[in-house]
Amino acid sequence: MTDGTDTARPAPAAERQYCRAYRLADLRRFPGWQEPADRAPLTDDSVVHLWDDLTVVASPVDPSEGVLWDTVDGAWERFCREDLNFDLPEDLNNG
């Protein structure tokens, strides 16, 4: 479930171009989900952002701060694509 917020922005050095907002509860359904121990606890209703490189951040404004997830493997990629229905918009896929 998303809140319907999609954000396109210029690519930073890591070449990220697109992110989509999700309730944290949706990402916590991933069996291997773990949040960094060194940050304040977030609630299930917290909105986080999944980038096109499949990393998750607390804020799309400064994606280098507040990284919540950067362990990208086949299981995570399948979860994002199949369970969260995450995909790039066509205009970014074809660009």
Give me the chain's average pLDDT, please: 83
pLDDT at site 94: 60
Q: For residues 74 and 59, what is the distance between their CA atoms, to the nearest angstrom?
A: 24
Which strand ranges, in their side-by-side order, compose the sheet holding 67-69? Answer: 2-8, 18-23, 47-51, 56-57, 67-69
Predicted TM-score (pTM) of this structure: 0.77
Residue 4 has pLDDT above 90, yes or no: no
* Domain coordinates in residue numbering, the chain: 2-93
Per-residue pLDDT of 49-82, as tens digits, reads 999 999 999 988 876 678 999 999 999 999 999 9
Q: For residues 55 and 44, what is the distance between their CA atoms, to the nearest angstrom?
A: 18
